[in-house]
Structure 1
Amino acid sequence: MNILHLISSPRKGASASIQLGNAVVNQLQAANPGSTVTVHDLTNKPFPHLEEVHLQSFFTPAENHSPEQQEAIRHSDQAIAELKAADAIVIGIPVYNFGVSSTLKAWIDHIARAGVTFRYTANGPVGLIEPGKKVYLVIASGGIYSEGPGAAIDFVVPYLKTSLGMLGLTDVIVFRVEGTSIPELKETAMKKAIASISIEPAMAA
C-alpha cells in the first residue's frame, strides 16, 4: 500500500491534526506491513494560490504551453501524480475560522482540473481518479462540530467530501480530535480521538 499523508498545520509537534494523522498512518501501516508512506507538508512549500498563469496553463494544450505556463502547471501535475500513486490518503485538517487552511485549499485548487481529474457531463461532474482509494480526513478543532449545535456549522466535512467526491474520491472516513480549546475536554481529547481510530480489516494486505 502507498500511503500519502498530507499535513496542513504549521504547528509541527504541537499540532493535534498532525498527532492524530500520525496515529492513523501508524495503524494503516500495522494493518498493511510493507506499506510506503509519503509525507507532504503543505506548509513547508505551500502551493501557490491560483493566478492567471495557472488557469491559462490548465486550459491550454500541453504542446502549446509557454515556458511560463510549463512552470506554473508543474505544481498541479506533481500533486495529481502523487494523488494517483496513493492507495490511501490521510489528510490532516486543522479547523480555522470554520473552514480549512488556505494551504489545503490551494492544494485542492491544483488537483481539481477539468479533463484531468474530473470531467463535466450533462448530469454534472464525473471523477477521473481511479476508484478504490480510501481517504481519511483527520480533523482537529477547538470546539465540537461532530454533534450538537456545532454540527450545523461544520463546513469542513461537507466541503471536502464534495470537492474530493467530484474527483472520484468517494470512500471517505472521518476521524476527529475535538474540544481542544474547551477546559473540561482538552486534556482527554487526543486520547479519545486515538481510541476512535478503526482501520477496516479489508484494508489489510
Structure 2
Amino acid sequence: MHIRRRRAVGRHDASDYGLRGAEDGAGADHPDLADRRHQADHPPGVAQVAPWLKAYFTPAEHHSPEMKEALRLSDELVAKLIANDHVVIATPIYNYHLPAVLRAWIDHIVRKGLTLGFDGKGLLHGKTSTVLMASGGIYTDGSPIRDRDIATQYLRLILKVMGINDVTIIAAGGAKGVDLSRVTREAFLERLDSEIELAGA
C-alpha cells in the first residue's frame, strides 16, 4: 500500500492476510516512509519491562543513565511520529484485536508531555492517519457481527487521544476467503484499490 504524502510514519505490515506488503517492496519508492515492518525493529512490550515503567513515571530531570536507555527506543518512535504528518498503519486483526507488536508500539508512543498533554488533550495537531485493517470476518456497517469491531474503535480512540482526528479506515474484511480459495488474492485486493488510491491522493 502506497500513501503518497509529504511524510508518513508508522507502517505495520498486513501481509499475513495476503495484502501488499514487504514482498512487494511497498514503500520502496518513498524513502521518506518510516517503516517498522521488520521483526528486528519490533518494540518490546513495555508493561512487562519494569525499568521502562520506572523511567516513564520519573520526571525527565531525574532520569539516570539507565532510565534514559530504557526510554531510548520509545523516544525515537515518538520523535519519528512528531516529525511526520501522516500515520499509516496496515495490520491484521487477531481474535477481534490488534497484534501484540502493534499494541506495544502504541504503548511506546502514547507519552504524557510528548504526544499527550498533562491535561489529557492530544498534542499531535494537524496530522492525518490511514489505517488498513485485514480481518477474516467482515465487521463493517450492515454486518451481523458489527459489534465485534473492537480494533477499529480502539485505534480511533488511541489516535484521537494523541490529537489525530482525521482518520481514514480501509476495512479489508473477509480475508479468510482467500485462504479458503473462495476468492483470488488479486480479486480481493482489487476491491480495495479505489479506497487506497483515494487515501493516497
Q: Give TM-score scaled by structure 1 length.
A: 0.80
Alignment of 1:73-112 (within 5 A): 73-112=71-110
Q: For 2:188, give the aligned amino acid.
A: A
CA distance in 1, matches of 2:111, 2:68: 15
CA contact (8 A) 2:137 2:173 kept: yes
User: What is the match of residue 11 of structure 2?
Assistant: 6
Question: Counterpart in 1 of 2:144?
Answer: 149
Mark the CA change 1:7 to 1:94 in structure 2 (over 3 Å): closer, same or farther: same
Q: Corresponding residue for 1:36?
A: 32
Q: How far apart, CA to CA, are the structure 2 residues paired with 1:135 and 1:128?
A: 15
Q: Distance in 2 between matches of 1:149 and 1:54?
A: 42
Higher mean C-alpha deviation, range 103-112 or range 34-43 = 34-43
Which residue of structure 2 lines up, in the alignment, with residue 72 of structure 1? 70
- Corresponding residue pairs, total: 188
RMSD: 2.7
Question: How far 1:61 sits from its partner (Å)?
Answer: 2.3
Q: Which has the higher helix share?
A: 1
Contact 1:119 / 1:127 at 8 angstroms: preserved in 2?
Answer: yes
List runs of 5+ in structure 2 lacking aligned partners: 1-5
Distance 1:65 1:42, change over 3 A: farther
What does 1:1-205 align with in structure 2 at a 5 Å threshold? 1-9=6-14, 11=16, 15-16=18-19, 18=21, 36-41=32-37, 43-50=39-46, 51-121=49-119, 125-129=120-124, 131-147=125-141, 148-182=143-177, 183=180, 184-185=182-183, 187=185, 188-199=187-198
Can you give the 5+ residue segments of structure 1 that lack an aligned partner in the other structure? none
- Matched position secondary structure for 1:137: strand
Q: Secondary structure at the match of 2:146?
A: helix
